Amino acid sequence: MAPPCGGGRRWMRAVKFTLCLFFLIPMSSVGIRNTNTNFDKKQKLEVQQQLKRLNKPALKTIKSPDGDIIDCVDIKKQPAFDHPLLKNHTIQMRPSSYPEGFLFKESNNISSNSKPIITQRWHLNGSCPEGTIPIRRTKEEDLLRASSVANYGRKKYDMIPNDNPSTHEYATITEEGEGETYYGMNAEINLWNPQVQQSNEFSLAQFWMTGDNNGAIIDTIEAGMMVYFDLHGDYETRLFTYWTNDGYQSGCYNVMCPGFVQIDNRMAFGATFLPYSVYGGTQTSVNLYVFKDNVYGHWWLQVNNKYLMGYWPSSLFSFLSNSAVRVTWGGEVVNQKSGGQHTTTQMGSGHFAEEGPSRASYFQNLKVIDHEQVLRGPRDIHVTVTNPTCYNLLTHNDFFFYGGPGRSLNCP
């Protein structure tokens, strides 16, 4: 989740120690079996309180075939407005301006043969009325799976790469121009369902925009597609965003903490899309575009050239309230090295970049909005591939292929 390059940061050892202690408590005493007493009661209360914070009252509820429950929540009562900085916030229903080239044409030749319509799976079973936004409901079992109820939807300390660099593997490209600043970025991300070996590993495809203080990452805005059992309770590929304003100590995925202001009533964060791409067959993709409103400074997110999801208010950030200094696109997996071996968790399609169109996963239509407010392709990029015998990347200016199978003879 954190970008593969950029500054390191020291973490609060005391907090980490407490979390580790939490991990050591046997699951049976945390779980449903009600052996004992005060701890269980406290935990139950904490779970109920957290569920209440996360799940706002629904005006309508939709059951998706993938098991999700989608709550249509009054747009004015969404979680964002629990944030102390957003108490008096006036919702923007549109950006005050669109950057030039706002709507991207269907691009390139990678997936040119008649594209299937891509949609979220819960759409099979209903839609949210005007004036509401769809929010994927957090269930009790989601919280019980988390290492700490209070931290559900936030980054676990052992998931922060700078703390434990060797568990995170990357295949990414980065642009970080001397003195350059960024006001937006775009990618069309090929949609696959990579296999993930175990619940505490993930496989994702995303982009990062980061704001730094002398190389130390402070603010990020991130968006992409991920498979992550511990967060979602299954191995489907789901739309996600992430933001932090203090180097991954606060902030969260999607709308799991107050921050992101959603306006769209058709797309839900954390939801699944269908259909996935087929090896050697039809390819599907999700286009994600983040850009800064040049009047209010909010960072808008648009999905599939059509759905303006909403925005991260400028006031959440210190460095990104101006601009980003680095943009990164690519794949990341967590390798827990279970049994001392490399994970079999796949990246992308589970095939190496050399396999090319309809076999290797791609990012295409890579764009940035630069300091002159010009939408352009990436320039002077550098490639980061941390373990090329397991996952790799081949770049061709405004698109690249990336991925790999994880464990193999060459990746033991």
Ligand X SMILES: *[C@@H]1O[C@H](CO)[C@@H](O)[C@H](O)[C@H]1NC(C)=O
Catalytic (active-site) positions = 222, 332
Q: Summarize the chain as % helix, strand, coil (round to 5).
A: 20, 30, 50
Q: Which is nearer to ligand X, 37 or 109 (CB)?
A: 109
Return the number of the residue (109 or 214) whose C-beta is nearest ligand X.
109
Binding flag, residue 353, ligand X (CB under 6 A): no
Residue closer to ligand X (CB basis): 241 or 272? 272
Q: Which helix (H) or strand (E) holds 48?
A: helix 37-54
Kindly state whether residue 113 participates in binding ligand X, applying the rule CB under 6 A.
Answer: no
Instruction: Choose between 53 and 83: whose C-beta lies nearer to ligand X.
Output: 83
Residue 110 vs 390, nearer CB to ligand X: 110
Q: How far is the CB of 60 from ligand X (least distance, A)?
A: 13
Q: Are 385 and 392 in contact (CB under 8 A)?
A: yes
Q: Please, what is the minimum distance in Å from the beta carbon of residue 255 to ligand X?
A: 20
Site stretch for ligand X (CB under 6 A), options 85-93, 198-206, 273-281, 327-335: 85-93
User: 3-state class of 230 per DSSP?
Assistant: helix
- Candidates 23, 41, 40, 19; CA nearest to 31 is 40
What are residue 62's DSSP bridge partners?
70
Closest approach, Cβ 63 to ligand X, in A, equals 4
Q: Which residues of 95-133 are buried (b: 16+ CB within 10 A; e: fewer)?
A: beeebeeeebeebeebbeeeeeeeebbbbeeeebeeebb
Nearest to ligand X of 42, 63 (CB atom): 63
Task: Check if the beta carbon of residue 98 is closer than 8 Å to that of residue 270.
Answer: no
Residue 388 lies near ligand X (rule: CB under 6 A): no
Measured from the CB atom, the residue of 208 and 401 that comes closer to ligand X is 401
Task: Go through the chain and tell me how many residues it has.
Answer: 412
Q: Which residues contact 292 (CB under 8 A, 6 or more apart)?
A: 183, 184, 298, 299, 300, 323, 369
Give the nearest distance from C-beta 67 to ligand X in angstroms: 9
* Position 87 contacts ligand X (CB under 6 A): yes
Binding mask 121-160 for ligand X (x = CB under 6 A): ---xx-----------------------------------
Closest distance to ligand X from the beta carbon of 62 (Å)? 8
Residue 50-69 contact track with ligand X, rule CB under 6 A, x = bound: -------------x-x----
Could you give the CA distance from residue 69 to residue 94 in angstroms, rounded to a whole number?
A: 28
The least distance separating ligand X from the CB of residue 336, rounded to whole angstroms, comes to: 33
Contacts of 165 (CB under 8 A, 6+ apart): none
Residues with Cβ within 8 Å of 381's Cβ and at least 6 positions away in sequence, in order, are: 173, 174, 175, 395
Determine, following the binding rule CB under 6 A, whether residue 90 of this chain makes contact with ligand X: no
357 scored as a contact of ligand X (CB under 6 A): yes
280 is a contact residue toward ligand X (CB under 6 A)? no
Instruction: Determine, following the binding rule CB under 6 A, whether residue 112 of this chain makes contact with ligand X.
Output: no
Contacts with ligand X by CB under 6 A: the residue count is: 10
Q: Which stretch binds ligand X (CB under 6 A): 84-92, 150-158, 204-212, 282-290?
A: 84-92
Q: What is the DSSP string of 188-228?
A: EEE------SSTT-EEEEEEEEEEEETTEEEEEEEEEEEEE
Q: Which residues bind ligand X (CB under 6 A)?
A: 63, 65, 85, 87-88, 109-110, 124-125, 357
